């Protein structure tokens, strides 16, 4: 069962979980057909940044997920992952925060805030009329430096007019090391120090902190990666690590363009196909969001209690209840 904890956060009681025969469908494509909508800044809706929006096509009202891309990456590189999430009943908004040249960390966070502020006035106008966004159920997420930007935005480093109800960091990275954090420096290296009152999930990779070769630094170095982000999160918070995969292994296969080509050579990658990794990450997103936005906790509890349900190895899996 799910009950409301303090401040309206849904409390998940793992003691009521089903037996070892439990199962979940979140790792498979959902039942809803989805469409991809590309919205440029020249559109009449005037978004502050170009947007990739993936939305169900079936009539209904859906929670909204804001997804921030990783460092020197394109929003379209995550198409398969984001379509998986959307097919389970979510409108995903993925802004392109900068072009070929990355912006500063502060500017990146402000850009994400400006997109957040646009949602209440502009999002409905670019969706099908029968599809409605529920901005009372707005979640925030991001990958790599975009994951750090998501945490910074949730922490109030830029002003946004909407409130977030959940936060997911996908292999977040805060710099090259403890002494080399990118601005703004949000890590304190003190347990549970993030001033957040919303549920948090952190998804890490087992190979992210390993060098691809003797020349390249790790893409997700020790001390400033998923481990520290989880350590500094308050309950309720969860941590899932895809132990056999790398920092870029949730991207599409063969992403296009120069940036897409070099993305495959930046980090140490896993030796297995990416599709199971995308299904795993997408399933964790869906289970977490269903639990904390809709109160449907069965899938999340099943994964926490039996990580073997996932299509790739998850180790460790941690959960601190509220």
Query: What residues are labeled active site?
Result: 144, 171, 247
Return the SS3 of 284.
Answer: helix
DSSP codes, 103-163: PPHHHHHHHHHHHHHHHHHHHHHHS-TTEEEEEEEEEEEEETHHHHHHHHHHTTSS--SS-
Is the CB of residue 50 less than 8 Å from the CB of residue 108? no
Are the C-beta atoms of 93 and 67 separated by less than 8 Å?
A: yes
219 alpha carbon, distance to own chain's centre: 17
Please name the residues in contact with 88: beta carbons below 8 A apart, sequence gap of 6 or more.
26, 30, 31, 32, 286, 290
The separation between the first and the last C-alpha atoms of the chain, rounded to the nearest angstrom, is: 14
- Distance from chain centroid for Cα 104: 20
Q: Burial level of 304, CB count in 10 A (0-12/13-18/19+)?
A: buried
């Amino acid at each position: 069962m799910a009950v409301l904890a303090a401040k309206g956060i849904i409390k998940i009681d793992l003691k009521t979980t089903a037996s070892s025969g439990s199962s979940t469908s979140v790792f498979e494509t959902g039942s809803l057909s989805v469409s991809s909508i590309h919205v440029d800044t020249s559109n009449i809706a005037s978004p502050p940044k170009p947007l990739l929006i993936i939305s169900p096509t079936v009539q209904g009202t859906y929670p909204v997920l804001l997804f921030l891309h990783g460092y020197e990456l394109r929003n379209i590189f995550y198409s398969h992952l984001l379509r998986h999430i959307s097919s389970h009943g979510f409108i995903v908004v993925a802004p392109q925060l900068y072009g070929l040249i990355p912006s500063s960390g502060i500017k990146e966070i402000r850009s994400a805030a400006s997109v957040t502020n646009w949602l209440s006035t502009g999002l409905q106008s670019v969706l099908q009329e029968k599809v409605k966004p529920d901005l009372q159920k707005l979640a925030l997420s991001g990958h790599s430096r975009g994951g750090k930007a998501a945490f910074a935005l949730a922490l109030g480093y830029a002003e946004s007019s909407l409130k977030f109800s959940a936060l997911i960091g996908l292999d977040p990275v805060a710099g090259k090391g403890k002494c080399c954090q990118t601005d703004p420096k949000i890590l304190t290296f003190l347990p549970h120090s993030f001033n957040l009152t919303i549920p948090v999930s952190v998804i890490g990779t087992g190979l992210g902190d390993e060098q691809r070769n003797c020349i390249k630094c790790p893409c997700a170095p020790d001390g400033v990666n998923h481990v520290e982000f989880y350590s500094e999160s308050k309950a309720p918070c969860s941590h899932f690590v895809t132990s056999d995969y790398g920092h870029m292994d949730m991207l599409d296969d063969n992403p296009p363009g120069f940036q897409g080509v070099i993305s495959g050579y930046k980090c140490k990658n896993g030796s297995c196909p990416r599709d199971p990794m995308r299904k795993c990450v997408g399933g964790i997103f869906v289970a977490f969001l269903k639990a904390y936005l809709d109160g449907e906790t069965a899938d999340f509890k099943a994964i926490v209690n039996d990580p073997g349900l996932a299509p790739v190895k998850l180790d460790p899996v941690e959960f601190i209840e509220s």
